[in-house]
């Protein structure tokens, strides 16, 4: 891609209103994610929000149940373990810090640390199946990330969308939380179900965001993902 095209692809139309005359590039924006609150989430511990609530990670406002996925992207992140007693703990980073991230499946780090060990041990890096999405009534896009115990729900969403055919944003879905109680403890996982065709007004918003954001990079508001999934 030549530099002129790259510059054009990364540029966004300046929002209406004074103060935005310089324009905005995609790399200057953070996209919030749908955060599923667990018992150790700061929003539960410090802000008094309920476990199992799905919120906008940036505004901390509960998200509507119905959403429209616009496009998918996959990435891998290696988080430092929470405990320095963990053999994989890297003292160069703090507990829960991001050690590296990549969206390239051929990245040597992804190949080496993103796979299960020969003994079935869990990969050091976490794989995320992400959907850049529109929630009706929300004025900003939200990324829904499926990983670990919720990864199966991400695969289900992708399968439902793929077999329907056409634009991904032609159909809406419901996003809910399901409580799980097993040997890892009590926690919540994401669940997805079909919700019928997307309304025309929603599809118009989705098509506009598709054209604006579908080319990478997408910077997702991370926060601390290590509080969400029990280890």
Peptide bond into 217 cis (omega under 30): yes
* Span 171-183, pLDDT tens digits: 999 999 999 988 8
Parse the chain into domains and list their residue ranges: 1-28, 31-226
Note the pLDDT of residue 183.
80
Percentage of residues of the chain with pLDDT beyond 70: 89
* Span 177-217, pLDDT tens digits: 999 988 878 899 999 999 999 999 999 999 999 998 988 67
Would you place residue 224 in the very low, low, confident or very high pLDDT band (cuts 50, 70, 90)?
low
Is the pLDDT at 41 greater than 50? The verdict is yes
Percentage of residues of the chain with pLDDT beyond 90: 67
Is the pLDDT at 227 greater than 60? The verdict is no
Is the pLDDT at 7 greater than 70? The verdict is no
């Amino acid at each position: 891609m030549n530099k002129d095209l790259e510059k054009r692809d990364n540029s966004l139309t300046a929002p209406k209103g004074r103060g935005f005359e310089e324009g905005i590039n995609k790399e200057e924006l953070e996209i919030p994610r749908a955060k599923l609150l667990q018992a150790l989430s700061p929003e539960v511990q410090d802000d008094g929000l309920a476990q199992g609530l799905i919120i906008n990670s940036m505004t901390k406002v509960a998200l509507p149940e119905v959403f429209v996925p616009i496009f998918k992207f996959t990435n891998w992140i290696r988080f430092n373990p929470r405990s320095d007693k963990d053999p994989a703990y890297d003292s160069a980073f703090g507990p829960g810090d991001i050690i590296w991230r990549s969206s390239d499946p051929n990245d040597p780090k992804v190949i080496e640390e993103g796979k299960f060990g020969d003994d079935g041990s869990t990969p050091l890096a976490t794989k995320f199946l992400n959907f850049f999405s529109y929630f009706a009534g929300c004025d900003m896009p939200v990324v829904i990330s499926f990983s670990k115990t919720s990864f199966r729900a991400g695969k289900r969403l992708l399968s439902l969308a793929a077999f329907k055919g056409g634009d991904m944003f032609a159909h809406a879905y419901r996003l809910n939380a399901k409580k799980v109680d097993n040997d890892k403890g009590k926690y919540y996982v994401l669940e997805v179900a079909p919700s019928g065709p997307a309304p025309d007004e929603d599809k118009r918003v989705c098509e506009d965001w598709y054209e604006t954001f579908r080319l990478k990079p997408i910077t997702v508001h991370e926060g601390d993902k290590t509080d969400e999934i029990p280890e």
